Amino acid sequence: MSQEPAPTGFSTRAIHAGQEPDPRTGSVIVPIYQTSTYAQDGVGGTREGDYEYSRTANPTRTALEEALAALENARHALAFGSGMAASDAVLRTALRPGDHLVLGNDVYGGTFRLIDKVLTGWGVTYSVAHLSDVDAVRAAMRPETKLIWCESPTNPLLGISDITTLAEIAHEGGAKLVVDNTFATPYLQTPLDLGADVVVHSTTKYLGGHSDVVGGAVVTGDDELRDQLFFLRNSAGAVPGAFDAWLTLRGLKTLSVRMERHCDNAERIAAMLQSHPKVSRVYYPGLSEHPGHDVAAKQMRRFGGMVSFDHADGEQAALDAAAGTRLFVLAESLGGVESLIEHPGRMTHASVAGSLLQVPAELVRLSVGIEDAEDLVDDLRQALG
Ligand SMILES: *Cc1c(COP(=O)(O)O)cnc(C)c1O
């Protein structure tokens, strides 16, 4: 194709952006460029495409990056070897010793660990705030605050923050707003359109979508930040391999249909749990009684595939329920086609025990897959007893 295609809808972009048929062979699918290096035209001169060495750039990775940028309505996306590598690159690009960041009270445990255990040793300070509480966020801002780090919905409590308001607070204070959009995906929410400066993803989750690859991405419209991130990634080397980029690109193509089904099934399960006698609380932003429901309805297309709940009989009962399902697999991670169940207090969020980010002991988290909803509902009913 010599002409730029002009796809506009999300599903069309997911399938076509950055993914024109291979100009040399006509291959409809972007090839896995399993190569580390590229022949040069002369000493110091690259051939068309500008590829030199695959730490710097690789065509399969480029295709993934173009697709990701198109889905987030952004100019730039950079793929990383994991979600944490993507987050690390943003933190080390945007922060210098002496800088401060404001962090949501239930960010991903690994993000908290990276900031609390690694970044602080590097002279960065942080404050934890309830990002749904605007006054608390304003109070946490300092002259040296350079970032607000937000997840919406959060993991594992499905808290919702108003991204537009957080962006305003950040910008008033000369800071940038980063949104970890892993839970929502660009199909449900595009934070850059709401005023955020940077989006990070664990593409391991919904974007890859099949629990078969680990990866991450940073998306931004800021040219200078993109160049700094590119420089750091090339210097530090946290890149995904070509096959991992290809698997993620393959997953992206079906993101919209998968997300619709994840949302359908999660709504069914949230409704069932709400009326279940062994469940004392359901965390799902699609429920009208969820404190963030109105904000979620304003900034999201639908409410996602993650549902958490408190077991009415406490921690041991929650552990038993998590171990008692037949279809839901007891496992960490999320966002794959198969349903997963876990106990955040003992599993994904064990590292935040005793901190401000500690989660309820009776909490169970579900990553609702795209199986038949009736089978999932039946499985949870039998596990709850
Ligand atoms: C999994 C996850 C991460 C970390 O991503 P990895 O790919 O596991 O490194 C970051 N943020 C959120 C919200 C996640 O769920």
Q: Position of tokens 């009270």?
A: 105
Give CATH 3.40.640.10 domain extents, the chain: 10-253
pLDDT given for residue 377 in this prediction: 98
Does the C-beta of 241 come closer than 6 Å to ligand 1?
A: no
CA distances, 357 to each of 8, 128, 337 (Å): 40, 8, 28
Ligand 1, atom 1, residue with closest C-alpha: 202
- Tell me how far apart the alpha carbons of residues 166 and 148 are, in angstroms, rounded to a whole number: 8
256-384 in CATH: which number? Answer: 3.90.1150.10
pTM: 0.95
Best substitution site from 80, 82, 84 to test ligand 1's pocket, by max atoms within 8 Å of Cβ?
A: 84
Q: Which atom of ligand 1 lies at the shortest distance from residue 84's CA?
A: 9
Going by C-alpha positions, the residue among 258, 269, 266 that lies closest to residue 337 is 258
Report CA-CA distances (Å) from 110 to 72, 87, 157, 286, 300.
Answer: 24, 10, 15, 26, 25
- The response to whether residue 214 sits with its C-beta less than 6 Å from ligand 1 reads yes
Give the pLDDT score at 8.
82
CA of 351 to the centre of ligand 1 (A): 14
Residue 205 near ligand 1, beta carbon < 6 Å: yes
C-beta 180 within 6 A of ligand 1: yes
Closest atom of ligand 1 relative to the 204 alpha carbon: 7
To the question of domain 10-253 being in CATH 3.40.640.10, the answer is yes
Spans of the chain, pLDDT less than 50? 1-2
Specify whether the CB–CB gap between 21 and 31 falls below 8 A. Answer: no
Q: Report the pLDDT value the prediction gives residue 109, as an integer from 0 to 100.
A: 85
Question: Given this model, what pLDDT does residue 1 score?
Answer: 41
Q: Whose CA is nearest to atom 2 of ligand 1?
A: 202
Q: What is the pLDDT of residue 353?
A: 79
209, 91, 348, 313: CA torsion to nearest 10: -110
CB distance 109 to ligand 1 below 6 Å: no
Enumerate the CATH 3.90.1150.10 domain ranges in the chain, comma separated: 256-384
112, 115, 182: which to mutate for ligand 1, most atoms within 8 A of CB?
182
Q: What is d(CA 207, CA 67) in angstroms, rounded to the nearest whole number?
A: 11
Query: What distance in angstroms lies between residue 328's CA and the mean position of ligand 1's atoms?
Result: 20
Question: What is the predicted pLDDT for the residue at 43?
Answer: 82
